[in-house]
Structure 1
Amino acid sequence: MSDHPARTSAALDAAVGAARGLGLAVTDAAVLHDLFSVVVHLAPAPVVARIPVVLPHSTTPEILAGRQRAELDVAGWLAERGTPVIPPSPLVPREPVRRGGFSMTFWQFTEEDRAAEPDYAANAERVADLHAALHGYPGPLPFLTSDEPRHVPDALDQLAARGDLLTADDVQRARREWQELEPLVHSRAAFERAFPGVEVRPVHGDSPPANIFAGTDGPLFADFELVTTGPVEWDLATLGPELRSAYERGARRASLRPLDDDVVAFVDAVGTLRAIAALALTPQLPVLADYLVPVLEQWRAAG
């Protein structure tokens, strides 16, 4: 579905229908956020539905549902231990729900501090606390992107066929670089051979300094949709030296190891190619080009 307003309306209707099917009284549902996911407050119930709507072609319903189950389980486990997170809603079963072609999860409504300005350095420092809290998580998690091995190659094929954002030389270079990186992304054993002594542990998976919600009672970790195992550097990919330094302040306080420069270079290279691959999603979300074309231009300049 490429018509953005129609997609949002359909996601809203699906969320309301699913919530009512779960026994919630919903009379004043409102869209709170609409980008990669449509986020709906199911008012007057204190419940928020998050419905992913912009996804790579390689993300099957089974992959998505598996990620959502992991997200709900990790966020619930952290909340039970007092970690500041947006928790799953206690009013419905802790399971993704499929309706109207969408798969959605349900979360506790949390009031946003709309006057708060993002402080990414402070957020990066907080990520060390999240890593410390995640360390004991007992559930199974995939290694990095091993649950979706075709994401980058398929996206590059789509971009090559389109020819509007990447040149043939761009695609050739990206494929060559990904071929070198891919074994370390999809094999924990290969990663551990390449980086001996670097611990693999549960991490947020999706740039947590940018996924901290400004609640009226304080900042809350959120959006664990890509929760995974990997090196802690994965959560700082492409964020630059200032935010990495902020993270290391938090790591010293939390008694975590300092960042490894070689692993930082690896995750930055992977993160850059994943951002370039995400340009394949621009037909679904045209505004993405505003954020990702500068990454593409920096990559070209560095090549």
Structure 2
Amino acid sequence: MVDFLSSRDLARRTAAAVDAAVGAGRELGLTVTDATVLHDLFSVVVHLAPTPVVARVPTVRPRREDLTQRARAQQRELDVAQWLADRGTPVIPPSPLTPREPVRRDGFAMTFWQFVEPDRTTEPDYVANTEVVPELHAALRDYPGPLDFLGAAEPHLVDDHLDLLATRPDLLDPADLDRARREWRALAPLVRSRAAFEHAFPGIDLQPIHGDSPPANLFHAADGHRHTDFELVCLGPVEWDVATLGPDFAAAYDRGARRCGRRPLDEKVKTFVDAVGRLRAITSLALAPQLPVLTEYLTPAVEHWRETPFAGGVVTP
């Protein structure tokens, strides 16, 4: 059984990620004298000061992750963010001071972004953030690049995490694991197959979507809001981008949709993506040994899930 990383282990991992980002930045010709960690959870985000460049270095990784796979996702993210920036969509763009491609160093695969001064005067309002998500969907709609159907659900990771959790009853109770496996068997066909999804939900349009809770990834800059973190961008229903968020968020999305002439959320699809999103969150407990705070974050989610109908009521047991 793999022990949870200690605070010392976590500090060492952060330091290694910062060193890798600084070293890679300097190799690319950047002047870095005062690297500052801006964020440290699933990734270490480092401002390579005084240069206006931010490195994002993923540090919590699935046990079977291939860095080549990771780099493909990072390249797709860079491409989408640049495409949006070129069309005037408010995003944090890739840095113009580095090549627009992932960089590998010391076992990490990282990307480089433009440093944007934050608005330090306001606290995040995630419900209000949700009102601008339909504008992002409108901007993404014509993105021409290839995208996987519901790639953000990462079904291969759900499979692997369920297998890992079978060996870790300390992370997920065996009875909960049994329900999770049965739910996934029922939901996975609609996640893996566009045809199966379209048969189950006829008339629901699919388009490029953010993939990773855009209300939580709206950066409030000194010059206004900017969308960020497109690593899970994929093709799917817009409902995915507000999966597992409550009715206040759904109402906020619909207000924004009416404002920009887009359709409101579909209740049946929202029920489906909520069920998949809850399951994906619960199975991410498999990553808790790498990020112990996940147990604190996800314990309420597990307790809430136990009270919900099987698979959200989308399918029967």
* Aligned partner (choices 89, 99, 102) of residue 96 of structure 1: 102
TM-score if structure 2 supplies the norm length?
0.93
Q: Which runs of 4+ in 1 moved over 3 A?
A: 146-149
Structure 2 gaps of 5+ residues are 310-317
Residues 1:164 and 2:170 aligned together = yes
Deviation of 1:63 after TM superposition, in Å, equals 1.9
Q: Which moved more, 1:109-118 or 1:6-15?
A: 109-118
Aligned pairs for 1:168-179 within 5 A:
168-179=174-185
Deviation of 1:253 after TM superposition, in Å, equals 1.3
Deviation of 1:255 after TM superposition, in Å, equals 1.2
**What letter matches 2:50 in structure 1?**
P
TM-score if structure 1 supplies the norm length?
0.97
Aligned pairs for 1:41-120 within 5 A:
41-120=47-126
Aligned partners of 2:74, 2:152: CA distance in 1, in Å? 16
Deviation per residue, 1:34-74 (Å, 9 max, x gap)? 11100011111110000011122243212211110110000
Aligned partners of 2:127, 2:117: CA distance in 1, in Å? 23
**What letter matches 2:229 in structure 1?**
D
Residues 1:293 and 2:302 aligned together = no
Would you say how many aligned residue pairs link Structure 1 and Structure 2? 303
Aligned partners of 1:58, 1:202: CA distance in 2, in Å? 27
Question: Which residue does 1:265 correspond to in 2?
Answer: 271
Residues 1:37 and 2:64 aligned together = no
Question: Which residue does 1:130 correspond to in 2?
Answer: 136
Question: Which residue does 1:8 correspond to in 2?
Answer: 14
Contact 1:146 1:185 in 2 (8 A): no
Aligned partners of 2:244, 2:144: CA distance in 1, in Å? 28
Contact 1:97 1:104 in 2 (8 A): yes
Deviation per residue, 1:255-294 (Å, 9 max, x gap)? 1111111100100000000000111111111111111110
* Aligned partner (choices 145, 157, 175) of residue 151 of structure 1: 157
Question: Which residue does 2:313 correspond to in 1?
Answer: none
Deviation of 1:214 after TM superposition, in Å, equals 1.3
Contact 1:213 1:219 in 2 (8 A): yes
Aligned partners of 1:58, 1:27: CA distance in 2, in Å? 35
Deviation per residue, 1:198-247 (Å, 9 max, x gap)? 01100000010011111111111111111111000000100011101100
Deviation of 1:14 after TM superposition, in Å, equals 0.4
Contact 1:58 1:148 in 2 (8 A): no
Aligned partners of 1:44, 1:9: CA distance in 2, in Å? 19
Contact 1:201 1:232 in 2 (8 A): yes
Q: What RMSD, in angstroms, separates the aligned Cα atoms of the two structures? A: 1.4
Aligned partners of 2:200, 2:61: CA distance in 1, in Å? 31
Structure 1 gaps of 5+ residues are none
Aligned partners of 1:182, 1:215: CA distance in 2, in Å? 38
Question: Which residue does 1:196 correspond to in 2?
Answer: 202
